């Protein structure tokens, strides 16, 4: 671990965080003076800003050195930089698809991109933080951005419901998080992640602080019993904001859990008990997500429950990682994050193209998609096949390695078998949209308008999914190389 002390170096290595913030403020200023029919240029500017930030981040990653900034507040290692790059990628997908979405909904508000960029910065900080209070601040930054973004559809009847259902529990669980930090500080005397490892836990206070810490995290990734917001927010929020909520935020929280749970769980006298609780929560989330997704009539609600299945599986992977911190399992988890990011972003990109004022996202609205838009139809089918986890797509590779990793740790063979069984059942969920696509449309439907950004995102995602499915070696060895200790 190299400590960065000089101002120039600190500035250089903080560029991935600085560029989105400064870019966001720049967009805020440009928005004031831009004509309302030229607001889409701000979207392209936001994309360029994120691409530059991603480039500087990848430069730091490929230097292959573990860095510490600001006296240990921020850690730039492979384990933090790889999910940070994924979050930026998620941000780029979200920005590119929102240009078309905002144009179609006549929302000429440049602040959308500012909020998006600032949320992305919060996510990057949350991933790379090595200090509990910085983690809390970052958590608040991206949460605030998203509270506003989910209610961006003006005049939508679902808007108030969405904002309240996301904001109130989110704010409450932020308080839980803060209280948990206070309790941990009482036991360790410091807020650095390193002191969580070395502290002497209190018999009663430590379990309380652990449970309180889990609440906000499990809320954001929608693990039972904190999943009730999922279908309503997924249905009511703009589809590309949901894209960010379901990919970027989840990847960030999973990374935080991967970094903080192993040192925390060691302090328990009986760690296996707590790991089993996490495992069972993950399993129940998978079961309930599968069962509820089977009966949904709205594509966005269906995808909401589908992301719960993925979250449950990843939580199972994380609890297996807590039993035996195995490098192969860690690689499998990060590979799963990446491929999940591609699949989910792709599906929500398509939904955002089809959606108009909350219309067009019911399953029956998909009827005749192969006639009026063969491009969307082909990519949609590819993505759904990847979601099921069939070869030759990346979905198969992700599931294969994760199941193998979980099984080899020997955490619970019954749990793994149940999860595999649920994956087979979940193929019905993803086949239902395909079934609806082939029905005759009841009314005349027009082809949705696609902009360059949408074509770019969908092409990149489908190429990525096929490539990771056919030649997964480079991706796996890259992640394995950088996340290794």
Partner 1 sequence: MEQLIPFLITFGAALFLGLVLLMASTFLGPKYPNKSKAQPFESGWIDRPKISGHYVAFYLIGVLFLTFDLELVLLYPWVTIFKTLGLSGLITIFIFLGILGIGLVYIWKKGVFQWN
- Residues in the site for partner 1, rule: CB under 8 A? 7, 25, 28-29, 32-33
- Nearest CB to partner 1, comparing residues 114 and 247: 114
Distance of closest approach, residue 112 Cβ to partner 1, in angstroms: 15
Distance of closest approach, residue 18 Cβ to partner 1, in angstroms: 11
Cα gap 369→361, rounded to integer Å? 12
Going by C-alpha positions, the residue among 149, 143, 175, 144 that lies closest to residue 162 is 149
Distance of closest approach, residue 427 Cβ to partner 1, in angstroms: 50
Cα gap 29→423, rounded to integer Å? 48
- Nearest CB to partner 1, comparing residues 7 and 440: 7
- Nearest CB to partner 1, comparing residues 45 and 280: 45
- Nearest CB to partner 1, comparing residues 28 and 456: 28
Q: What is the largest CA-CA distance in the chain?
A: 68
Cα gap 212→215, rounded to integer Å? 5
SS3 label, residue 227: coil
Residue 76, φ and ψ in degrees, nearest 5: -110, 95
- Nearest CB to partner 1, comparing residues 10 and 55: 10
Distance of closest approach, residue 25 Cβ to partner 1, in angstroms: 6
Distance of closest approach, residue 32 Cβ to partner 1, in angstroms: 4
Quote the Cα angle for 444-457-33, to 5°: 90
- Nearest CB to partner 1, comparing residues 137 and 390: 137
The helix or strand, by DSSP H or E, that contains position 3, with its residue range, turns out to be strand 2-3
Count CB neighbours of 65 within 10 A. Answer: 13
Alpha helices in 64-189 (DSSP H): 78-104, 111-128, 132-150, 159-188
Distance of closest approach, residue 11 Cβ to partner 1, in angstroms: 12
- Nearest CB to partner 1, comparing residues 28 and 194: 28
Distance of closest approach, residue 31 Cβ to partner 1, in angstroms: 9
Pairing verdict, β 74-76 and 67-69: antiparallel
């Amino acid at each position: 671990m190299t400590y960065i002390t000089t101002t120039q170096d600190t500035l250089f290595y903080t560029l991935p965080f600085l560029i989105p913030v400064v870019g966001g403020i720049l967009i805020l200023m440009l928005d004031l003076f831009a004509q309302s029919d030229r607001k889409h240029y701000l979207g392209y500017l936001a994309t360029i800003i994120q691409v530059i930030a991603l480039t500087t981040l990848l430069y730091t990653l490929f230097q292959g050195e573990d860095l510490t900034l600001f006296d240990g507040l921020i850690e730039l290692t492979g384990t933090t930089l790889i999910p940070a790059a994924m979050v930026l990628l998620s941000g780029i997908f979200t920005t590119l698809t929102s240009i078309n979405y905002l144009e179609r909904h006549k929302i000429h508000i440049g602040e959308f991109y500012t909020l998006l960029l600032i949320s992305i910065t919060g996510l990057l900080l949350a991933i790379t933080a090595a200090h509990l209070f910085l983690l809390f601040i970052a958590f608040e930054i991206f949460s605030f951005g998203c509270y506003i973004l989910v209610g961006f559809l003006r005049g939508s009847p679902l808007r108030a419901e969405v904002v309240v259902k996301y904001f109130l529990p989110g704010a409450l669980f932020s308080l839980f998080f803060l209280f948990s930090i206070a309790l941990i500080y009482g036991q360790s005397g410091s807020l650095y992640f390193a002191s969580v490892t070395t502290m002497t836990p209190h018999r009663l206070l430590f379990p309380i602080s652990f449970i309180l810490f889990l609440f906000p995290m499990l809320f954001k990734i929608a693990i039972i019993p904190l999943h009730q917001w999922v279908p309503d927010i997924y249905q009511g929020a703009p589809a590309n904001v949901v894209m960010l909520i379901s990919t970027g935020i989840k990847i960030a929280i999973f990374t935080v859990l991967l970094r903080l749970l192993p040192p925390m769980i060691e302090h328990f006298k009986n760690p296996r008990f707590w790991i089993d609780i996490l495992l069972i929560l993950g399993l129940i989330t998978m079961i309930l997500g599968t069962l509820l997704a089977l009966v949904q009539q709205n594509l966005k609600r269906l995808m909401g429950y589908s992301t719960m299945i993925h979250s449950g599986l990843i939580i199972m992977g994380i609890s297996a990682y807590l039993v035996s911190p195995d490098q192969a399992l860690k690689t499998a988890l990060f590979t799963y994050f990446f491929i999940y990011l591609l699949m989910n972003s792709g599906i929500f990109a398509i939904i955002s193209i089809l959606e108009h004022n909350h219309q067009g996202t019911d399953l029956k609205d998909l009827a005749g998609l192969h006639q009026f838009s063969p491009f969307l139809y082909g990519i949609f089918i590819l993505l759904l096949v990847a979601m099921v986890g069939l070869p030759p797509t990346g979905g198969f590779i992700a599931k294969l390695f994760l199941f193998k990793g979980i099984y080899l740790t020997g955490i619970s063979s019954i749990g793994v078998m149940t999860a595999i069984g649920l994956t087979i059942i979940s193929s019905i969920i993803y086949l239902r949209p395909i079934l609806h696509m082939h029905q005759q449309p009841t009314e005349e439907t027009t082809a949705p308008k696609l902009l360059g950004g949408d074509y770019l995102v969908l092409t990149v995602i489908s190429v990525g999914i096929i490539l990771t499915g056919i030649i997964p070696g480079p991706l796996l060895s890259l992640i394995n190389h950088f996340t290794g200790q």
